[in-house]
């Protein structure tokens, strides 16, 4: 490989000059040179090659002309230079992104690490960072929207724009469409510079929308410099996460999206949402918005009046619980705003002397022991026990009471059981983790049920159990699956013992399905079917998921399997018919909908989709009765009237079609198809050109690329004598795919009229 692939010519010259100086320092009395030609004073010369390419001529001489340089030194001189270049190239290869030649994410984080280390040089007073104070640095992440990878040219073009930001320190490629960069600036100036970079990117017509989010140090990091528990690596990851959070919020804004700072999110969204007893409050900032145990927020009224501080003691995904000093609690109210403040290190998990950190260490040891036990394939059962209604207990009595109840659970498990667990540790809010080894599942079930009964009055809890080995789990899946089983236990009801099984995986798959993570949902359903191959709920869910992913052949196979087990399963017939529709097998789909209708003749969805499919096939004898009946049902949707109108129009039931289209437009004034159909009927029944014109015009406004709407409007304009507008819409109809002879004929007439007009004498 040529060195030019990694070292640019100016870099090569710089490194060689530097190496010359180093050689002169280590071997005083000699003269060294590397260049394209030998120096005049040279006593000895040799070619310097690097990776097969000639990069220069090495020259060597003593300062005293009477003495010659030894041959050994001459042989060593180019070899040392080549070795040095090799080290430089290898070092550069480790930090360079191979696609773009920019720095990679590893180097970017290491650079940020060094910068933060150099900047955490002196203690700062606890308290809110001044908004006007210049930060040491700004970390920004910029992304081009879309689903495709950017090309090298697009990356380089964007990188040049970002490098132009004043005081830029480091820029790197962080992903397929993402660049990160660090620069020095004050808060207001940072926003202005990033806005200007966005405008420059948009002016260069970069493909896809442009998004940018940033975080400031020290304002957004909220870590007191030189506090005894600051970890620079924690600071790096935290600052990156905050910039990514701001970038995520930029995606939710209208295009062109503004550049968003993390501090703007806190100040714009942070609120107290609820006041609880015991001087506690709920805020709407969770883990994803920078809240953490020990985080202190300043509280302001809606007019900006300071109302004191609150300290977070527990965080969730979208909320946090915090406590206020007793003297201030009465002043706080729901709706008060939050300002980003500081960390109270005595309440933060990073404080290794704190009780919280000791719990974290216990959990870490427990997880390691669990994995070690599981790796031996020794039979064991992992259990998670959670106090029922612990949220209410925490709000009403506080964290201390929750800990007291957990202590009761521990005491009862260890002393009141015939077979106490071999491992036991508090695991998360109001939860205890336990491991039994070499205990039969039936014996464990009895043990677990007795435990729940004994604690029913003093510490009611739900228990989730995961046996190991398990055909669908890996050792590292044990704890996540135990948590999912605990969710299942909560759905079943309080004081329940629940074993991991197909239902757990069905619930978990449904959760992923609701979040739109369809591939993960498919994995869960398939695991559940390994445990219970004939489980109808899992099969139906898997089929629906495959259909949503566009895997309709796989979905149809799954629904056929359901029907082989349960021929009267309504949803299997219906879902199979929908997948057949998507694959274009309309006649088979119609038969599947008919089977579903036999099972439930009054089901709106079945009747509606059967009517639509029959209409597409031109089977009016099936479409009309199905759509008529669907429209009569109380649970119908307004959309049914549009299809009913189209069916009646094809059956030449003109007045019935007009009635249906009017109802469709009443339900949805922006239903372009119904507006168009209604316009046709006004022309056909009443020759009402003005009403038809307004309906056709509105249809074109709603869907300007629909060639039928353009044709109808152009034809009407032609009939009304507005030839210029008619020609415009008819040409648009051609552009959007209309190929009827009528359009061609009208346009010929219009063109011939123009030619005749042009040839007529003035």
* Residue 382 per-residue DSSP state: E
Token pair for residue 554? Answer: 């796989």
d(CA 12, CA 85): 8
d(CA 202, CA 204): 5
Token pair for residue 339? Answer: 């300002």
pLDDT tens for 3-26 read 444 566 656 666 677 777 777 776
* Mean pLDDT, range 529-554, rounded to an integer: 88
- What's the CATH code of the domain at 304? 2.40.10.410
* Domain end marker among 217, 248, 264: 264
d(CA 645, CA 647): 5
Q: Please, which pLDDT band fits residue 607 given cuts at 50, 70 and 90?
A: very high
pLDDT of residue 351: 42
Minimum mean pLDDT range among 72-76, 114-118, 311-315, 477-481: 72-76
Residue 470 has pLDDT above 80, yes or no: yes
The pairs formed by 439-446 with CB atoms below 8 angstroms and a separation of 24 or more are 439/379, 439/381, 441/381, 441/467, 441/499, 443/419, 444/381, 444/419, 445/497, 445/499
Token pair for residue 331? Answer: 């002043």
CB contact set of 525 (below 8 Å; sequence gap of 6+) = 505, 506, 509, 538, 541, 542, 545
Residue 591 has pLDDT above 90, yes or no: yes
d(CA 571, CA 732): 43
Residue 271 has pLDDT above 80, yes or no: yes
d(CA 625, CA 594): 12
pLDDT tens for 393-403 read 776 777 777 77
Q: Please, which pLDDT band fits residue 560 given cuts at 50, 70 and 90?
A: very high
Same domain, 114 and 260: yes
CB contact set of 702 (below 8 Å; sequence gap of 6+) = 670, 672, 675
The residue that leads in pLDDT, 45 or 326, is 45
Residue 220 has pLDDT above 70, yes or no: yes
C-alpha separations of 326 from 220, 345, 402 in Å: 28, 20, 21
Same domain, 81 and 116: no
630 occurs within a structural domain: no
C-alpha separations of 150 from 95, 108, 157, 173, 214 in Å: 20, 20, 11, 11, 21
* Residue 129 per-residue DSSP state: P
pLDDT of residue 343: 55
Minimum mean pLDDT range among 469-478, 491-500, 612-621, 688-697: 491-500
Overall pTM > 0.75: no
Same domain, 209 and 123: yes
741 occurs within a structural domain: yes
Is residue 68 helix, strand or coil?
Answer: coil
Q: What is the CA radius of gyration of the chain?
A: 37
Minimum mean pLDDT range among 198-207, 447-456, 671-680, 752-761: 752-761
Q: Please, which pLDDT band fits residue 226 given cuts at 50, 70 and 90?
A: very low
pLDDT of residue 7: 62
Same domain, 390 and 469: yes
Residue 223 has pLDDT above 80, yes or no: no
- What's the CATH code of the domain at 244? 3.30.70.270
Same domain, 17 and 137: no
- Whether residue 256 is preceded by a cis peptide bond, meaning omega within 30 degrees of 0, is yes
- What does the CA dihedral 85, 88, 93, 96 come to, rounded to 10 degrees? -130
* Mean pLDDT, range 466-482, rounded to an integer: 87
Range of the domain at 391: 355-500
d(CA 186, CA 385): 50
Under 8 Å between Cβ of 213 and 262: yes
The rounded mean pLDDT for the chain is: 79
Which range of 48-57, 324-333, 425-434, 559-568 scores highest in mean pLDDT? It is 559-568
* Mean pLDDT, range 733-754, rounded to an integer: 79
Residue 447 has pLDDT above 70, yes or no: yes
Same domain, 158 and 202: yes
* Domain end marker among 95, 129, 155: 95
- One DSSP character per residue, 9-71 reads HHHHHHHHHHHHHHHHHHSTTEEEEEESS--TT-SEEEEEEETTEEEEEEEEEESSTTSPPPH
d(CA 291, CA 414): 36
* Domain end marker among 264, 298, 315: 264
Token pair for residue 435? Answer: 């491991």
Residue 616 has pLDDT above 70, yes or no: yes
Residue corresponding to tokens 């970017």: 108
The residue that leads in pLDDT, 527 or 392, is 527
CB contact set of 597 (below 8 Å; sequence gap of 6+) = 603, 606, 607, 610, 626
Same domain, 337 and 365: no
Same domain, 124 and 169: yes
Same domain, 332 and 407: no
The domain tally of the chain equals 5
Which range of 294-298, 436-440, 570-574, 753-757 scores highest in mean pLDDT? It is 570-574
Backbone φ, ψ for residue 179 (5° rounding):
-125, 145
d(CA 173, CA 704): 40
Residue 600, H or E segment: none
pLDDT of residue 174: 87
Spatial CA neighbour of 711 closest among 690, 684, 682, 732: 732
Residue corresponding to tokens 């403040």: 341
Same domain, 443 and 473: yes
d(CA 234, CA 54): 46
Under 8 Å between Cβ of 322 and 278: no
Same domain, 717 and 746: yes
d(CA 220, CA 128): 11
pLDDT of residue 227: 41
525 occurs within a structural domain: no
Q: Please, which pLDDT band fits residue 67 given cuts at 50, 70 and 90?
A: low
Under 8 Å between Cβ of 173 and 103: yes
d(CA 525, CA 276): 40
d(CA 346, CA 227): 11
pLDDT of residue 330: 58
Residue percentage of the chain with pLDDT more than 70:
83
d(CA 10, CA 188): 37
* Mean pLDDT, range 657-671, rounded to an integer: 85
pLDDT of residue 254: 60
Token pair for residue 251? Answer: 């995606």
Same domain, 720 and 759: yes
Which range of 234-243, 404-413, 599-608 scores highest in mean pLDDT? It is 599-608
157 occurs within a structural domain: yes
Spatial CA neighbour of 461 closest among 415, 407, 398: 407
492 occurs within a structural domain: yes
Spatial CA neighbour of 43 closest among 79, 70, 22, 5: 70
Minimum mean pLDDT range among 203-217, 480-494, 601-615: 203-217
What are 56's strand-pairing partners? 48
What are 386's strand-pairing partners? 431, 462
137 occurs within a structural domain: yes
């Amino acid at each position: 490989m040529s060195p030019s692939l990694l070292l640019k010519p100016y870099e090569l010259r710089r490194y060689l000059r530097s190496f010359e100086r180093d050689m002169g320092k280590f071997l005083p009395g000699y003269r060294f040179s590397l260049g394209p030609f030998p120096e005049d004073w040279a006593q000895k010369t040799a070619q310097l090659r690097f990776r097969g390419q000639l990069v220069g001529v090495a020259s060597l001489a003593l300062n005293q002309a009477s003495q010659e340089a030894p041959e050994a030194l001459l042989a060593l001189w180019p070899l040392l230079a080549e070795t040095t270049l090799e080290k430089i190239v290898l070092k550069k290869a480790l930090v360079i992104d191979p696609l773009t030649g920019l720095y990679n994410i590893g180097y970017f984080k290491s650079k940020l690490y060094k910068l933060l280390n150099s900047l955490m040089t002196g203690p700062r007073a606890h308290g809110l960072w001044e908004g006007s104070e210049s930060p040491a640095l700004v970390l920004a992440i910029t992304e081009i929207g879309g689903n495709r990878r950017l090309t090298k040219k697009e990356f380089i073009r964007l990188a040049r724009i970002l490098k132009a930001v004043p005081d830029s320190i480091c820029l790197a490629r962080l992903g397929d469409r993402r660049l990160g960069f660090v620069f020095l600036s004050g808060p207001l100036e940072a926003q202005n510079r990033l806005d200007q970079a966005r405008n420059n990117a948009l002016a260069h017509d970069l493909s896809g929308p442009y998004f940018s989010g940033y975080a400031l140090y020290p304002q957004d990091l909220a870590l007191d410099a030189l506090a005894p528990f600051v970890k620079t690596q924690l600071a790096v990851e935290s600052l990156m996460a905050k910039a990514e959070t701001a970038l995520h919020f930029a995606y939710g804004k209208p295009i062109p999206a503004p550049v968003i700072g993390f501090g703007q999110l806190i100040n714009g969204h942070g609120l107290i949402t609820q006041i609880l007893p015991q001087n506690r409050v709920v805020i709407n900032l969770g883990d994803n918005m920078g809240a953490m145990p020990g985080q202190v927020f300043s509280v302001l009224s809606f007019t900006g009046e300071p109302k004191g501080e609150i300290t977070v003691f527990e965080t969730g995904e979208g909320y946090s619980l915090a406590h206020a000093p007793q003297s201030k609690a009465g002043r706080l109210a729901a709706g008060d705003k939050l300002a980003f403040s500081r960390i109270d290190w005595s309440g933060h998990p990073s404080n290794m002397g704190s009780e919280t950190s000791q719990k974290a260490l216990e959990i870490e040891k427990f997880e390691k022991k669990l994995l070690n036990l599981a790796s031996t394939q020794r039979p064991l059962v992992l259990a998670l026990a959670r106090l029922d209604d612990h949220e209410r207990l925490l709000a009403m009595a506080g964290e201390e009471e929750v800990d007291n109840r957990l202590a009761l659970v521990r005491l009862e498990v260890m002393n009141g059981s015939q077979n106490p667990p071999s491992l036991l540790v508090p695991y998360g809010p109001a939860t205890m983790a336990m491991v039994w080894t070499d205990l039969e599942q039936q014996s464990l079930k009895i043990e677990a049920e007795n435990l729940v009964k004994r604690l029913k009055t003093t510490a009611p809890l739900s228990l989730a159990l995961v046996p190991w080995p398990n055909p669908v789990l890996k050792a590292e899946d044990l704890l996540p699956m135990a948590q999912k089983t605990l969710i299942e236990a909560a759905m079943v009801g309080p004081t329940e013992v629940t074993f991991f099984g197909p239902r757990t995986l069905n619930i978990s798959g449904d959760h992923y399905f609701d979040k739109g993570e369809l591939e993960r949902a498919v994995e869960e359903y398939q695991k559940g079917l390994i445990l219970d191959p004939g489980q109808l709920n899992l099969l139906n869910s898997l089929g629906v998921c495959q259909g949503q992913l566009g895997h309709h052949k796989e979905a149809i196979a799954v629904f056929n399997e359901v029907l082989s087990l349960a021929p009267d399963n309504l949803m299997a017939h219906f879902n199979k018919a929908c997948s057949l529709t998507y694959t274009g097998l309309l006649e088979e789909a119609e038969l599947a909908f008919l089977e579903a209708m036999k099972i439930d003749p009054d089901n709106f969805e079945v009747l509606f989709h059967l009517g639509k499919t029959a209409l597409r096939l031109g089977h009016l004898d099936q479409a009309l009765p199905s759509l008529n009946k669907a429209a009569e049902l109380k649970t119908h949707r307004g959309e049914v009237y549009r299809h009913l109108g189209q069916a009646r129009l094809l059956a030449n039931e003109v007045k019935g079609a007009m009635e249906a289209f009017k109802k469709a437009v009443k339900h949805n004034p922006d239903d372009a198809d119904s507006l168009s159909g209604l316009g046709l009927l006004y022309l056909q029944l009443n020759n009402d050109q003005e009403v038809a014109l307004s309906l056709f015009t509105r249809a074109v406004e709603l869907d300007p690329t629909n060639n039928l709407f353009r044709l109808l409007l152009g034809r009407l304009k032609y009939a009304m004598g507005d030839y210029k507008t008619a020609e415009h819409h008819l040409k648009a109809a051609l552009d959007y795919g209309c190929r009827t002879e009528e359009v061609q004929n009208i346009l010929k007439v219009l063109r011939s009229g123009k030619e005749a007009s042009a040839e007529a004498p003035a």
